Amino acid sequence: MNLETPKKFRSLVTQAHQVAANYFRPISRKYDKAEHAYPKELDLLAALLDGMNAGSPEAVGATSASKRKSAAQEEGVRNGGNLSACLGVMELCWGDVGLLLAMPRQGLGNAAIAAVANEEQLQRFGSTWAAMAITEPGCGSDSAAIRATAVKDGDHYVLNGEKIFVTSGERADAVVVWASLDRSLGRAAIKSFVVEKGTPGMTVTRLEKKLGIKASDTASISFNDCRVSAANLLGNPEIDAQKGFAGVMETFDNTRPLVAGMAVGVAKAALDRTRELLKKACRFDYARPLLAVSHAEATLYRLEAEWEAARLLTLKAAWMADNKLPNSKEASIAKAKAGRVANEVTLKCVELAGALGYGEDELLEKWARDSKILDIFEGTQQIQLLIVARRQLGKSSSELK
């Protein structure tokens, strides 16, 4: 790996950083205090990003995160849509995680569509803002325990079940819903369906009040005899006992590096601001040994090292996806490391800044609250470590629980 940002992505990174600094930061506190209020300012930004990303797999957002090979893709080692998406997300979350999650057509459901949809579905849902619905009241980290069902009825599937903690579940144009075609067949029968907003039988039952990412709505959705066209089943409708759950789980190989990128972005924001606040008291001379500097300075150095490790692991997982290399283990490593680092960095930065860090005059306390979800959704810290252990030891999910 070349550890520098690829030349072709540098203008994208600069643009994303400018959006974060000049668009997200000024309204960050406003929508943190106005939970469930839709940030109208994002409509114009989303339209601009759509224009920037049109026809390009090397784009800012979630829709470019895919392992599929485009007609224009060069042979050999490449830097593609997954890496560009991660780099863009890192910069935008330097501005505000909640606002990124609230952006139209940049949801994790869009990454799911990009990951497993066929060509016809990619065209049909290309301009759709898609949320992703996996978690259920009795099913959290163990996605294979999904109880929602999808029963074939002619040219439709009938969905029944309840989903909770759906990011952008109320605002999105559609929801990518995970459901089982046959619960007796276990995880192999789980498929994902695009359910468009307004479909009879789909009801948003409540919006959650949260610790952080308040600019983003988080909904509970019920499905009662909800009829969905069979053409909206993403990928292969056949139940493949050999491949099992792998087809649907490919989504996570693309989305977990994106969530890790979010964590890297908010951690960098906290480090940058803390450095500014401490610069009058600290010399920041990296040539001096840690035992010869103040505790605050040594702590910041250690946090920066942890952040750099998380960043490189995240870029590696995304780069592997671009090159169609198996990256399930690396995606989980990146998600586990970045989620934990973001939590530690943001909380330590609050501590280092003292009263300034705890008050609302600074965004440090907000970043600390926002960061916690990044260690939880898309698979908790503990689940990521379990996946890594299985991959390292060559164990199946039934052998190592």
CA atoms of 180 and 150, how far apart (whole Å): 6
Q: Is the pTM of this model over 0.75?
A: yes
Annotated catalytic residue: which of 91, 306, 330, 378? 378
What pLDDT was estimated at residue 364?
98
What pLDDT was estimated at residue 34?
96
What pLDDT was estimated at residue 244?
53
Torsion of CA 291, 292, 297, 299, to 10 degrees: 0
Neighbours of 40 (CB within 10 A): 8
315 and 86 in contact (C-beta within 8 Å)? yes
Question: What contacts 261, CB < 8 A, 6 or more positions away?
Answer: 85, 86, 87, 89, 90, 93, 314, 318, 338
What pLDDT was estimated at residue 63?
56
- Note every long-range contact of 39-43, with CB atoms under 8 Å and residues 24 or more positions apart, other chains counting: 39/99, 39/102, 39/215, 42/99, 42/102, 42/103, 42/104, 43/104
Per-run averaged pLDDT (10 residues), the chain, 401 residues: 85 93 97 95 81 52 59 69 92 96 86 86 90 90 85 97 96 95 88 96 97 96 98 88 62 91 98 96 90 94 97 96 92 98 98 96 98 94 95 91 86
Token pair, residue 390, equals 């299985």
SS (H, E, C) 242-304: CCCCHHHHHHHHHHHHHHHHHHHHHHHHHHHHHHHHHCCCCCCCCCCCHHHCCHHHHHHHHHH
Helix (H), strand (E) counts: the chain: 13, 7
- Domains, the chain, in order of start with CATH, read 7-124 (1.10.540.10), 130-232 (2.40.110.10), 246-393 (1.20.140.10)
What pLDDT was estimated at residue 243?
59
Q: What is the pLDDT of residues 158-168, one digit of tens each?
A: 999 999 999 99
At residue 135, what is the residue type?
Answer: T
CA atoms of 16 and 254, how far apart (whole Å): 20
CA atoms of 48 and 33, how far apart (whole Å): 26
Q: What is the pLDDT of residues 120-130, one digit of tens each?
A: 999 999 889 99
Known catalytic residue: 351?
no
